Amino acid sequence: SSLAAELPPPYTAIASPDASGVPVINCRVCQSLINLDGKLHQHVVKCTVCNEATPIKNPPSGKKYVRCQCNCLLICKDTSRKIGCPRPNCRRIITLGPVMLIPEEQPAQPALPVQPDGTRVVCGHCGNTFLWMELRFNTLAKCPHCKKISSVGSALPRRRCCAYITIGMICIFIGVGLTVGTQDFARRFHATYVSWAVAYLLGLICLIRACYWGAIKVSYPEHSFA
76 is annotated as an active-site residue:
yes
* Distance in angstroms (rounded) separating the CA atoms of residues 4 and 89: 18
Positive or negative, the CA dihedral 157, 158, 159, 163 is positive
Q: What is the dihedral of CA 195, 197, 198, 203, to 10 degrees?
A: 130
Q: Which residues pair with 208 in a beta bridge?
A: none
- CA-based nearest residue to 128, from 213, 32, 53, 36: 32
Positive or negative, the CA dihedral 71, 76, 82, 84 is negative
Candidates 27, 68, 76, 143; catalytic one: 76
* Distance in angstroms (rounded) separating the CA atoms of residues 58 and 56: 7
* Distance in angstroms (rounded) separating the CA atoms of residues 183 and 186: 5
Q: Are 220 and 117 in contact (CB under 8 A)?
A: no
Catalytic residues: 76
